[in-house]
A and B are shown apart, each in its own frame.
Chain A
């Protein structure tokens, strides 16, 4: 009968030949599973608008509706339009990047619970679900970005495209995506045990639009709050993302005395650092809780 002396049993085969099932190396494993990742992204993108008549048009309708409401209320009723020239472009460039964040963050948070049947039954690096959720959000952001570019091009923006503005767009997208992946991993892991996380995320997303200069100019914060609050405000990765988009799309086509926040370059680096730290913390929490996913779902 087998067993009892383990040493004997393991003598035939070196210990190094064995694996401990269920160990993953976190985000590094995502690279090894990139083929599955690509399929998950494809599935997420292609099934999103299945059985809907308008399909991808919805990706334009939502931000367009949001834009018109804000534009009418803030631009026309509250006459921000007079204070901020080209308010429509200012508004839309902010909305686009905030939408990327909302979508990525929300998808990331629900990604584990949403894939419960798989998480419960098959072992694979669960980070894959969060990463693919964020990439799917990015794919849906592209048509909005295209729309923004078309609008700006109509205002004669193409002549003023510089290397710096392209870099600003890329930096904004990278910062916001890393930030939302970090938050998505963190809240996604907690959401498995405490579904309160989803509600907290809804709340945070409600605040996100107001905690960054989408609807107003950043100097309005400076005028009311002490300097250190403004400093923190400007380091918020979302603020940086929005201001980078303003820098790339709104500033070149606008003739104005208004100044974008100082040290945008340095702030971007800080924001990148904050985003990477968020990702790091999110990853640690995720890995801590990962072992219990299958039994908690």
Chain B
């Protein structure tokens, strides 16, 4: 690989370790019983083991690997939902996560109210949301239902609105977790174009997906994880090849 023009890191993952403690005892009775039998009460599961990744500004990177390889955990550490046990994670600029779209939607509120609520959850201020409101609704293509309660939406409409809100957040780094399967083919194509627009604006994209075709189109680099370790880091086509 040749060294390109100045590379400015957006995300630095430096020697990160993360373990989860699994509880085997769920009640006082369990605790006492296993204590008497001298069984261990907890066991620990290492989700990430000394992971080092640097993602530069304007790069679009796919995190690849089988289920349970630690991709989503890594994304959660970058978004700040979880913190690492060892090492450190650094990010630069506004980080927004498309992690499970629609987590902040309230079924009893209308589409309009949900747009404001969810955009605020993702860190936007009132003025920003008002400025982008039209754009968000237009992108979602559900103008006529926007004043209805979200619980009456079909799942496709729901996901489209949620996705549309998330993608219009002002950001420098976008984290995407397995949501590219949203909606029908035309809408997916529209999403892909939106992502490409973001890449053209030199935004940084980190994608977790099993959709090889989509990843191949969007990303230039692939990081393959296996059992919490980085086993490959390089151009996307080679990464996908490595995975197979």
Contacts and interface: CB of A to CB of B under 8 A. Distances in A.
B170 interface: no
Contacts of B125: 35
Interface residues of A, number: 35
B52 A35 contact: no
19 contacts: A1-B1, A3-B52, A4-B52, A12-B7, A12-B8, A21-B91, A22-B77, A35-B120, A35-B126, A36-B117, A36-B121, A39-B116, A39-B120, A117-B100, A117-B104, A120-B81, A120-B103, A121-B99, A121-B100
A166 B151 CA distance: 44
Nearest to B56: A2
B9 A12 contact: yes
A91 to B, nearest CB: 35
A20 B88 contact: yes
Given A13-B92, A19-B92, A39-B117, A2 B103 contact: no
Given A2-B233, A50-B108, A294 B89 contact: no
Contacts of A19: 90-92
A121 B103 CA distance: 7
Nearest to A19: B91
B47 to A, nearest CB: 10
A40 B1 CA distance: 49
Contacts of A4: 52
A36 B233 CA distance: 39
Please report whether the interface of chain B is mostly helix, strand, loop or mixed according to DSSP.
mixed
A118 B104 contact: yes
A261 interface: no
B68 interface: no
Contacts of B121: 36, 118, 122, 124
Interface of B: 1, 6-9, 12, 14, 20, 52-54, 56, 76-83, 88-92, 95, 97, 99-100, 103-104, 106, 108-109, 113, 116-117, 120-123, 125-126, 233-234
Given A35-B125, A39-B117, A20 B100 contact: no
A206 to B, nearest CB: 22
Contacts of A2: 53-54, 56, 233
A18 B91 contact: yes
Nearest to B73: A295
A162 B39 CA distance: 68
Nearest to A47: B108
A18 B90 contact: yes
Interface in A6-61: 6, 9-10, 12-13, 17-23, 33, 35-36, 39-40, 43, 46-47, 50
Given A35-B120, A35-B126, A22 B82 contact: yes
Contacts of A39: 116-117, 120
Nearest to B234: A1
A156 interface: no
Interface string A95-123: 00000000000000000000001101111
B82 A121 contact: no
A3 B234 CA distance: 12
Contacts of A294: 76, 81-82
A21 B120 contact: no
A3 B14 CA distance: 9
Contact of B80 (A6, A22, A118): A22
A123 B108 CA distance: 23
Given A18-B90, A39-B116, A121-B81, 13 more contacts: A1-B234, A2-B56, A20-B88, A20-B90, A21-B80, A22-B80, A22-B81, A23-B80, A43-B117, A46-B109, A121-B103, A123-B79, A295-B82
Nearest to A121: B103
A291 interface: yes
Contacts of A17: 92
